[in-house]
Amino acid sequence: MNRESAKQLVLTDRFGRTVDYVRIAVTSACNLRCTYCLKEDAPTQTQQLDVVETSKLIALLAGMGVRKIRFTGGEPLLHPSIPELVRIAKATPGIDTVCITTNGVLLDRQLDALVEAGLDGVNLSLDTLDREKFTSITRRDRFEQVSKALDRLLATPSLTVKLNTLMLRGINNDEIPAFVELTREHDLTVRFMELQPFDDHQIWRTGRFMGAERIRERLADAYPELEAITGHSTEHYSFSLPGHRGSIAIIPAFSRNFCSSCSKLRITADARLISCLYHHESIDLAPALKGEMNEVELKKRIIEAVQQKPKDGLKSSHDTAASSMSQIGG
C-alpha cells in the first residue's frame, strides 16, 4: 500500500470520532521516581515491546488510518532500539508524524540519532527549573542532564518542542514566569498541566492540585497582555505574548475532559490496547503480535477496542482507571 492510498482510510468509533493517533509505551521502565507517578519502591521488573512486533503493529495501524505515533513509557529512551523504532515508524506509509514524550535524562546522548531517524517532535516533561526542586519532585539528581537536553532541543529547529509542566500548588507554581520567559526567544510551547488522579500516592488529594482556572488567573495577573490563540485540541487555553516567539497553553487534564474530540489509542509495554485513559478495560495484542493469530483477527481486535471507546470516559469510569500513569504511558 502506498502513502496516498493509506491516507484514504479512516478509523472511526461508534460516536463518529476519527481515531488517527496512537501512543505506544515502548517500555514500562523509568529512571525517575516522580512523587506524583511512582513510588520509590516501585517494582523494578519491567515490560518492553519487541522491535519487530512493534513495527508490524505500526504498519497495520497505518493501514487502518492512524497518522500519528507517539512513543512514551515509562521512559522511552530506556528502550535500546528507540532510534530504530522512530525510523521504522517514520518510514511507514501513512504515518505523517512521529514524536516522543521523555523526561530528558538520556536525551542529550540520543538526540542526534533520533533526529537523523526522522523524529518530528519532543514533549519534554519538566516541572521545575530549580535543581533542588527537581531532585525533590523526581527523587533523582538528574537536573543537569535534563537542563542540557532542553538547551539542545531549543537549538534544534527541525523539532516541534513542547514542555509539559505539571503544576503542583506550593511547589512550582511560583515558577510560572520563569517558564513563560522561555517562550521569549524560543519557538516552543510551554504547557501548564493539571494533576490527574493516576498516581500511586494520590498526591492530587493532598492539596497540591492546582486547577486550570487558577493557573490562568496567575498568568493573566503576571501578563495582562496575553493574547488568546488556537492551540491543540487538549490545550483548552492557548496564548501568545507580544514579542515572544513561542506560546503558552493550559491543559485542564482533570477539571475538564476532551472525550468529545478524543482521537487516541494507547498501547502499553505489555502489548495491551487501551481505548480510553479512564478505563482499565484493554485488549491483549500479545498473541497476535507473536504470530498466534492472523492479521484479520488482529484488525478485528483493534476495531473492537475502538468501538469500546466510551462517549465520556471520565463520567463512565467508576474508579476503574489505572492507578499510575506509568502503567499506560501517559
Question: 495577573: which residue's cell?
Answer: 221
Ranges assigned E (strand) in the chain: 21-25, 68-72, 97-102, 121-125, 160-166, 188-193, 227-228, 237-240, 247-251, 264-267, 272-274, 283-284
Distances (CA, A) of 223 to 52, 180, 219, 241: 49, 10, 6, 8
What pLDDT sits at residue 218?
94
Rg of the chain in Å (alpha carbons): 19
Annotated binding site for S-adenosyl-L-methionine: 36, 74, 125
Distances (CA, A) of 316 to 170, 202, 239, 252, 320: 32, 20, 32, 18, 9
DSSP labels for 252-275? -TTTS--GGG--EEEE-TTSEEES
What pLDDT sits at residue 263?
86
DSSP letter, residue 173: G
Cis previous bond, 74, omega within 30: yes
Domain ranges across the chain: 3-327
Minimal CA–CA distance to 215: which of 267, 259, 269, 179?
179
d(CA 141, CA 134): 7
What pLDDT sits at residue 243?
96
Annotated binding site for GTP: 23, 70, 101, 162, 264-266
Distances (CA, A) of 238 to 194, 211, 226: 15, 15, 9
Helix axes 51-63, 295-307, angle to 10 degrees: 70
What pLDDT sits at residue 198?
60
Annotated binding site: 23, 30, 34, 36-37, 70, 74, 101, 125, 162, 259, 262, 264-266, 276
What pLDDT sits at residue 8?
54
Could you give phi then psi for residue 193, rounded to 5 degrees? Answer: -120, 145
Distances (CA, A) of 121 to 41, 125, 153, 219, 292: 32, 13, 10, 26, 35
Count of C-beta atoms within a 10 Å radius of residue 242: 8
What pLDDT sits at residue 320?
47
pTM of the model: 0.91
Point out the residues of the chain with pLDDT beneath 50: 1-7, 200, 320-322
d(CA 139, CA 319): 28
d(CA 263, CA 284): 20
Do residues 126 and 104 make contact, with C-beta atoms less than 8 angstroms apart? Answer: yes
Count of C-beta atoms within a 10 Å radius of residue 58: 24
Give domain 3-327's CATH superfamily: Aldolase class I (3.20.20.70)
Query: Which amino acid type is present at position 44?
Result: T
* Cell numbers at 141, concatenated: 539528581
